[in-house]
Amino acid sequence: MSAANARVPFHGLFIDGKEVPATSDERLDVLNPATGEVLARISHASDADVDRAVRSAGAAFEAKEWASMSNRTRAKLINKLADVFEAHLEEMFTLETANNGRSVNETRAQISRLPDFFRYNAGLAIARRDAVIPVDGNYLNYTIRTPVGVVGNSTPFNHPLMIMVKSLAPTLASGCTTVVKPSEYTPLTTLRLAQLFVDAGLPPGVFNVVTGLGPTTGKALASHRGIAKWVLTGGTEAGRITGALAGGNFAHQTQELGGKTPVLVFDDFDVDQAVNYAAFGAFIGAGQTCICGSRQIVHESIYDEFVAKLAEKAKTIRIGNPVDPSVQLGPVVSRRQQNRVLEYVRIGLEEDKARLVAGGRVPADPSLADGFFVEPTVFADVTPRMRIFQEEVFGPFVSVSRFATEEEAIAMANDSPFGLAGAIRTSNVTRAHRVAARLKCGIVWVNDHHRLDPASPWGGVKDSGIGRECGTESFDQHFETKSVMVRLDEAPFDWYQDTANQRRLN
């Protein structure tokens, strides 16, 4: 970090193991969303800067130091990085909370689990085996899997470190190298982790960070021919644009995009518990979570009680500066995001018969006026054709809808362009499995929400993206498979004389 201004830290780019200046002097403000203050300034990387970072990652990928490191040695290094990360958790909680506004308790709970993502993938690096394939004829066929190369990784503002780590851990463990483009709103913990890892022994160029805006820096990275795998976590639009750019170079892709998670609440489930889960599902991270339970679909026999209790619960959530441990809901990330949520409140109020039963405003507390706060908001009587049922709001905003039959609940849940996650509240085990199988999405929670594990596949279908993070599937997506076919037959070979051989081919 350079001290361009005595009060506001300035960050250059992180390329080849060190902080370097960008080609242009253009700087972007990074704000504290709870106060509106400028927390830091970052560089705006140009095409030339991105090219430099990708070349550095490409050279590091080929360098003996990294390319010929054995899986076991790499796994040891990754475990060491996990330990170093763990030793700096306090610093990371503080920086992340200041930068994205998530309450410090939630940030602590989330980030504390991240070192294990490295440990899990270090284990996969050791356990990884190539295959021997039973093919027809007297042949030995085996595979050699080699890491794909440079991974371009573009991350969103909502859980900057967690989402970056979900991809970074398998990238490093597989032997790939990377250029990360964090959200322009929340780049600070990513820059800090890159420096920590190099200090801990990660070879220069293996983990580079370029900061800047999506349509410039992000576009340059997605379209760079040196990128062998493109990972974007963000909105569906950014996924579509960058997917086409990376696809033009035939790069592998994983896209983790938007969502509108349906939560099916059946009448055999305790209403108070369903309300507690609804608040947890919808309001943590100020609702800025791709898998937030933004559509509560509730059986008609418990509907009125559920709506009344959820509205009450929403009104009791303590809003304030997220650094205060007693605060339960911080701001959304930016003034833009705050205005977007308020715009959806306006849309909801205009939609036929939707009923605002809690929130919908900026909190009255004058001490919060400079931050980007929105009250936890609940709309009832929402039906599938309404925009607030169909569109991702990305704020503390939940809709409640009514159903009569299980069939109707499933149809409502699947009536969405998104397919990231779904949740079911029931004490009927048979129903839980039956409904889980029919939800069109990549993740289902039964009587839970948000749970993420480094070993459990994570990702969506439809407009929620393609590919999976976490688990063995994500690790395996970092390799090219080479098939080696060895003829074991010792008899001399002459294609033009040996008719039996020719017959075998046909």
Ligand X SMILES: NC(=O)c1ccc[n+]([C@@H]2O[C@H](COP(=O)([O-])OP(=O)(O)OC[C@H]3O[C@@H](n4cnc5c(N)ncnc54)[C@H](O)[C@@H]3O)[C@@H](O)[C@H]2O)c1
Q: Given candidates 215, 248, 325, 417, which one binds ligand X under the rule CB under 6 A?
A: 215
What's the DSSP call for residue 437?
A: H
Cα separation, 157 vs 184, in Å, equals 8
Please report which helix (H) or strand (E) contains residue 284, including its range: none
Catalytic residue among 106, 256, 351, 469: 256
User: Which partner in ligand X, ligand LPHHDBUD, none is near 468 (CB below 5 to 8 A by kind)?
Assistant: none
- Of the candidate residues 33, 101, 203, 258, the single one contacting ligand X (CB under 6 A): 258
| Cα–Cα distance measured from residue 348 to residue 299, given in angstroms and rounded to the nearest whole number | 22
Q: Which residue type occupies 259?
A: G
Minimum CB distance to ligand X, residue 185 (Å): 7
CA gap 469, 476 in Å, rounded: 10
Using alpha carbons only, give the angle 251, 256, 259 rounded to the nearest 5 degrees.
150
Q: Which is nearer to ligand X, 121 or 289 (CB)?
A: 289
Handedness of CA 464, 469, 470, 474 (dihedral sign): positive
Nearer to ligand X, 207 or 394 (CB): 394
Q: Given the structure tokens 């193991």, which residue do they identify?
A: 17
Q: How far, in Å, are 289, 293, 340, 415 from residue 394 at the CA level?
A: 7, 11, 9, 19
Span near ligand X by CB under 6 A; candidates 96-104, 150-158, 261-269, 293-301: 150-158
The candidate with the shortest Cα–Cα distance to 262, out of 469, 429, 433, 411, is: 411
Q: Does 256 bind ligand X (CB under 6 A)?
A: yes
> 14 or 445, CB closer to ligand LPHHDBUD?
445
Work out what residue 394 binds among ligand LPHHDBUD, ligand X, none; the CB cut-off runs from 5 to 8 Å by kind.
ligand X
Q: Within 13 Å of residue 38, how many CA atoms lie on the same side as its CB?
A: 12
Q: How many CB atoms lie within 10 A of CB 499?
A: 9
Residue closer to ligand X, measured from CB, 149 or 459 = 459
Q: Where are the alpha helices (DSSP H) in 249-334?
A: 271-283, 303-316
- What gap in Å lies between CA 332 and CA 502, rounded to an integer? 69
Backbone angles phi, psi at 53, to 5 degrees: -65, -40
Report in angstroms how near the CB of residue 293 gets to ligand X at its nearest.
13
Q: Which of 96, 106, 176, 290 is catalytic?
A: 290
Contact residue for ligand X among 154, 174, 211, 328 (CB under 6 A): 154
Contacted entry of ligand X, ligand LPHHDBUD, none for residue 56, CB cut-off 5 to 8 Å set by kind: none
Select from 218, 226, 331, 371 the one that contacts ligand X (CB under 6 A): 218
Angle at 484 between CA 478 and CA 488, to 5 degrees: 155
Among ligand X, ligand LPHHDBUD, none, partner that 215 touches (CB below 5 to 8 angstroms by kind): ligand X
From residue 120, alpha-carbon distances to 123, 178, 381, 495 in Å are 5, 19, 44, 50
What φ, ψ does residue 198 adopt, rounded to 5°?
-65, -40
Which of ligand LPHHDBUD, ligand X, none has residue 241 at its interface (CB below 5 to 8 Å by kind)? ligand X
- The three-state DSSP-derived secondary structure of 321-353 is CCCCCCCCECCCCCHHHHHHHHHHHHHHHHCCC
To the query of whether residue 256 is one of the catalytic residues in this protein, the response is yes
Pick the stretch among 31-39, 218-226, 277-285, 433-441 that binds ligand X (CB under 6 A): 218-226
Cα–Cα distance, 420 to 443 (Å, whole number): 6
Applying CB under 6 A, does 123 fall inside the site for ligand X? no
- Span near ligand X by CB under 6 A; candidates 37-45, 51-59, 93-101, 255-263: 255-263
Encoded amino acid at 428, one letter: N
Stretch that binds ligand X, among 63-71, 95-103, 230-238, 277-285 (CB under 6 A): 230-238
Interaction mask 173-202, ligand X, x per CB under 6 A: --------x-xx------------------
Is 394 a binding residue for ligand X by CB under 6 A? The answer is yes
Question: Shortest gap between Cβ of 461 and ligand X (angstroms)?
Answer: 11
Environment class of 225 (CB within 10 Å of its CB; exposed 0-12, middle 13-18, buried 19+): exposed
Using rule CB under 6 A, residue 117 touches ligand X: no
Please identify, using beta-carbon distances, which residue of 53 and 164 lies nearer to ligand LPHHDBUD: 164
Side by side, the strands of the sheet bearing 421-425 are 355-358, 377-380, 397-403, 295-299, 262-265, 421-425, 443-446
- Strand 132-133 with 139-147, pairing: antiparallel
Q: Is 477 in the site for ligand X (CB under 6 A)?
A: no
Q: Kindly state whether residue 125 participates in binding ligand X, applying the rule CB under 6 A.
A: no
Binding mask 268-297 for ligand X (x = CB under 6 A): ----------------------x-------
Residues near ligand LPHHDBUD, by CB under 6 A: 110, 159, 284-285, 289-291, 450, 452
Least distance (Å) between residue 284 CB and ligand LPHHDBUD: 6
Q: Which does 17 bind (CB under 5 to 8 A by kind): ligand X, ligand LPHHDBUD, none?
A: none
Say which residue the tokens 């993070």 belong to.
Answer: 469
Are the C-beta atoms of residues 123 and 393 closer than 8 Å to each other? no
| Least distance from ligand LPHHDBUD to the Cβ atom of residue 285, Å | 6
- Do strands 479-487 and 262-265 pair parallel, antiparallel, or not at all (unpaired)? unpaired
Q: Which residue lies nearer to ligand X by CB, 292 or 357? A: 292
Partner from ligand X, ligand LPHHDBUD, none binding residue 452, C-beta < 5-8 Å depending on class:
ligand LPHHDBUD
Interacting residues with ligand X (CB under 6 A): 154-158, 163, 181, 183-184, 213-215, 218-219, 222, 232-235, 238, 241-242, 256-259, 290, 392, 394, 420, 460, 464-465
Q: Which residues are catalytic?
A: 256, 290
